Amino acid sequence: MSSANDLSYVHPSPTSPWGTYLSQVDRVRPYLGKLDRWVETLKRPKRALIVDVPIELDDGSIAHFEGYRVQHNLSRGPGKGGVRFHPDVTLEEVMALSAWMTVKCAAVNLPYGGAKGGIRVDPKKLSITELEKVTRRYTSEIGLIIGPHADIPAPDVNTNGQIMAWMMDTYSMNTGATATGVVTGKPIHLGGSLGRVKATGRGVFVTGQEAARRIGLKLEGARVAVQGFGNVGSVAAELFAKAGAKVVAVQDHTGTLVNDRGFDVAQLSEFSRTNGGIAGFKEGAMVSDDAFWDVPCDVLVPAALEGQLTAERARRVTARLVLEGANGPTVPEADDILAERGVLVVPDVICNAGGVTVSYFEWVQDFSSFFWTEDEINQRLDRIMVGAFENIWEKSARHAISLRTATFAVACERILIAREERGLYP
């Protein structure tokens, strides 16, 4: 999707990321009451910036990359959301991701709005020097709208603590003072928080544990399938294994592994980190990627990219519980099919909110220059995630609606109350 037609989001495909988000908003409207008069606020990003990112490559040639930063809603606080480097990044995708961040932050009651950023680039084709140049130029270009009190980026797909360090340094050099709070997910010695790297995966496990308990699914001996084996999928898998579950299927960009007896997840994680993927790990059989969706399991964790759980795949899923570790992995039609089949889906906007919650902790610690232990981080994270899940579960039960619609109902009410109380200026 080129920049020439990026504004086609006005009438998006129903299965596109933005189309999926708009469908989710429409489903929550009956539960907004008088706040429905403000619903268009949710369907329009507040601000979208498209930037050119030119750099000189190692061979002396000049390359141009297209970058984005979208602030969907700032009614409840500064924008918050990651930055992804991926060859398929589009404005419409970034818009949807920023909107889901708005809902996610409100669902766990963090004082943030939603934002997201990205560059259409394949970072695997860049040298470390070129990657730094891309990061710094992009940061300079979006520096107009980011800041510790305006919009706080964080890592996402193909970005990490080093990328955040370069972003923080670039912003700080341009403003003339060290601003550790401009990004989260930084290295520890630059103001990063303990527990941040594992926070999203931990949140998936905590919400999964709460959901499993409520549907009578014992985790000990439960079969778990995980799509995506990065920070989110691998951490969630490790925690499920520690709880006595068997991780029987794992898929990443290098292939799909199945082991009916259950993997030694710690060994698989170490192998994946060392070898750049799970392909070649000896304790399992490689199968086709499509066969992943047929593996008998009790818990399915889609923790890769959006749009993976299609209607066709939803008809094949054997799990009783789906935990959305990725953003937007389930298309609306698949949501309906899973509901009809009695499969409980814990939606991304609560399930993977552990990352932004600990990002909030990092931001707070940076302002106070007082840092917490990892045990304190995890205790605070668990308390917030469990409390938010309980509130959403009660809303779902009271109105006989899905957890996704209940999460949107809780979050959108908070967002639109803030919009209404602030009023319109001028």
Write the pLDDT tens digit of every residue in 129-163. 999 999 999 999 999 999 999 999 999 989 999 99
- Is a pLDDT exceeding 70 seen at residue 266? yes
Strand order in the sheet with 79-86: 47-56, 62-73, 113-120, 79-86, 151-155
Asked if domains 3-179 and 199-351 share a fold, the reply is yes
More confident: 231 or 412 = 412
**Structure confidence at residue 11 (pLDDT):** 73
CATH of 199-351, one of 3.40.50.300, 3.40.50.2020, 1.10.3720.10, 3.40.50.720: 3.40.50.720
State how far the Cα of 368 lies from the Cα of 373, in Å rounded to an integer. Answer: 15
Given a contact cutoff of 8 angstroms between Cβ atoms, the answer to whether 360 and 193 are in contact is no
Q: How confident is the model at residue 97 (pLDDT cuts 50, 70, 90)?
A: very high
**What is the distance between the alpha carbons of residues 302 and 299, in angstroms, rounded to a whole number?**
10
Quote the percentage of the chain above a pLDDT of 70.
98
State the average pLDDT over residues 75-93. 97
Domain extents for the chain? 3-179, 199-351
Rounded to an integer, what distance in angstroms lies between the CA atom of residue 339 and that of residue 396?
13
* pLDDT, average across residues 394-418: 97
Please give the C-alpha separations between residue 329 and each of 236, 337, 358, in angstroms, as whole numbers: 16, 14, 22
DSSP, res 88? T
At 42, list the tokens.
């949710």
CA distances from 257 to 84, 241, 282 (A): 26, 16, 10
Mean pLDDT of 170-185: 97
**Is pLDDT above 90 for 2?**
no
What pLDDT does residue 234 have? 96
Contacts of 425 (CB under 8 A, 6+ apart): none
Does the pLDDT at position 1 exceed 50?
no
Predicted pLDDT at 101: 97
Task: Give DSSP secondary structure letters for 120-162.
Answer: E--GGGS-HHHHHHHHHHHHHHHTTT-BTTTEEEEE-TT--HH
Tell me what the mean pLDDT of segment 352-367 comes to: 97
* Block residue for tokens 């990892």: 374
CATH of domain 3-179: 3.40.50.10860
Tell whether pTM > 0.85: yes
Give the integer Cα–Cα distance in Å for 165 and 188. 10
Report pLDDT for 10.
Answer: 63
**pLDDT at residue number 305:** 83
The residues, ordered by sequence, that sit 6+ positions from 44 with a Cβ below 8 Å of its Cβ are none
pLDDT for residue 78: 98
Catalytic residues: 116
Cα 342 to Cα 332: distance, rounded to the nearest angstrom: 16
Per-residue confidence (pLDDT) for residue 9, from 0 to 100: 57
Residue 412 pLDDT grade (very low, low, confident, very high; cuts 50, 70, 90): very high
- pLDDT of res. 108: 97
